[in-house]
Amino acid sequence: MTELQFNENVCAACPTTDCMMKCQYITFGGRDEAHAEMMKVIRGEDSRILHECVTCYACEEYCRRGNHPYLLIQERREEKGILSAPRAITGQWINMTRMQGKFLVGQIKDRALSCCYLPELLGLANGEIFKDVQQAVVFGAEFMCPAVHSHFAKMSVVRERLPIVIDNFRRLSVKEVIFLHDECFGTFTVIAPAYGLDVPFTPIYYMDFLLQRLTELKNRIKPLNIRVAYQRPCSNRLIPDKLPLVKKILDMIGAELVDRTYQGENALCCGEVFKATSGYQLFRDVRNRNINDMLAARAGYCVFNCPACQVSLSEQVAKMGLKPIHLIDLCKIAIGEKQMEVAADE
């Protein structure tokens, strides 16, 4: 079994305890209280953190010392039986994502294109942008990042399945894997090393790939001249160094990223997981604050990164007058491959 590599001394000496002080869902009386509660978690004692965490991943970004507080919190919750959601829902997710020997592997050479276990990604991975790699797709539970189970405090499932997924990729003999899902890229670049697992290929973030392809296709780009809000997914917190790529891509295709309250480090996730872990009240509160913030910033489009976020928010976003669209589709429109659907206020 793999074990989380966590350095207690790093947290003990932390001067800020930003992982907890910046949390948007747990309030502390001050840094001393936050630090004391985090040290309880580290020592394996009961702590309000274990009961109040909503599994938004943000503490992974807030910790600048690379010590994985989010992963430790979920480990401790499982140890103590403090699950995030009812056991039936937790079990449903485990069974729904179980490997069953049914998967899709395309024409793989040195490079593979991972669509995780999200069929929506299969629909995005085509056209001129992906012409050289769209036949090299892999899809299915056998190639799915198991990080979703951290939301349910089932790190044992992550530890069990991640080495198998890594081995499945190893059998393909690929040198590079382009990941279309943030959680996958974060799993192989952050979670795997945190558990001492070697990754036998170079993970490529799809936005790096997009930026490269747009540069190659720059003569085809027609500026979109639209105002957009970006819906940052929770798993992007694992890879905050990749966040600037969003603006680079939007600038390249002539889409203005509006300045709003809930963006960057202060971003709100789609809230979908809150339905199972914290109830509909928190889900609706986060969703409504998020969308109203987009409207207040006068965005015409809501740009998604994660298909799960898009499924969760698209209907409500559209009802509020914003046009929901995935970043990849927006790029396809910029190069003339898809038709632009005009937002309600344009």
Q: Does residue 262 fall inside a structural domain?
A: yes
Domain boundary pick from 80, 107, 124: 80
pLDDT reading at 33 higher than 90? yes
| pLDDT tens profile 113-156 | 999 999 999 999 999 999 999 999 999 999 999 999 999 999 99
The pLDDT, as a whole number, for residue 342 is 59
| pLDDT tens profile 311-346 | 999 999 999 999 999 999 999 999 999 887 655 444
Q: How far apart are CA 254 and CA 41, in angstroms?
A: 46
Per the structure, the complete domain to which residue 171 belongs is given by: 95-205
pLDDT category, 264, cuts 50, 70, 90?
A: very high
**By the 8 A CB rule, do 251 and 240 touch?**
no
| pLDDT tens profile 180-218 | 999 999 999 999 999 999 999 999 999 999 999 999 999
**By the 8 A CB rule, do 78 and 4 touch?**
no
- Within 10 angstroms of residue 156's Cβ, the number of other Cβ atoms is 14
Q: Are residues 224 and 200 in the same domain?
A: no
Token pair 């939007």: residue: 250
Share of the chain above pLDDT 70, in %: 98
Q: Are residues 250 and 158 in the same domain?
A: no
Q: Does residue 48 fall inside a structural domain?
A: yes
Q: Are residues 133 and 61 in the same domain?
A: no
State the total domains in the chain.
Answer: 3
Widest Cα–Cα separation across the chain: 59
| Average pLDDT value for residue range 146-168 | 97
pLDDT category, 20, cuts 50, 70, 90?
A: very high
Q: Does residue 345 fall inside a structural domain?
A: no
Q: Are residues 75 and 103 in the same domain?
A: no
Q: Does residue 128 fall inside a structural domain?
A: yes
List strands edge to edge, sheet with 323-326: 255-257, 226-231, 301-304, 323-326
| pLDDT tens profile 231-262 | 999 999 999 999 999 999 999 999 999 999 99
pTM score, two decimals? 0.95
Q: Are residues 325 and 222 in the same domain?
A: yes
**By the 8 A CB rule, do 256 and 295 touch?**
no
Residue partners of 83: CB distance under 8 A and separation at least 6:
77, 90, 152, 153, 154
Q: Are residues 169 and 232 in the same domain?
A: no
Q: Are residues 221 and 167 in the same domain?
A: no
**By the 8 A CB rule, do 103 and 141 touch?**
yes
Q: How far apart are CA 176 and CA 183, in angstroms?
A: 17
pLDDT category, 72, cuts 50, 70, 90?
A: very high
**By the 8 A CB rule, do 49 and 41 touch?**
yes
Q: Does residue 112 fall inside a structural domain?
A: yes
Q: Are residues 184 and 241 in the same domain?
A: no
Beta strand 137-139 with 104-105 is antiparallel
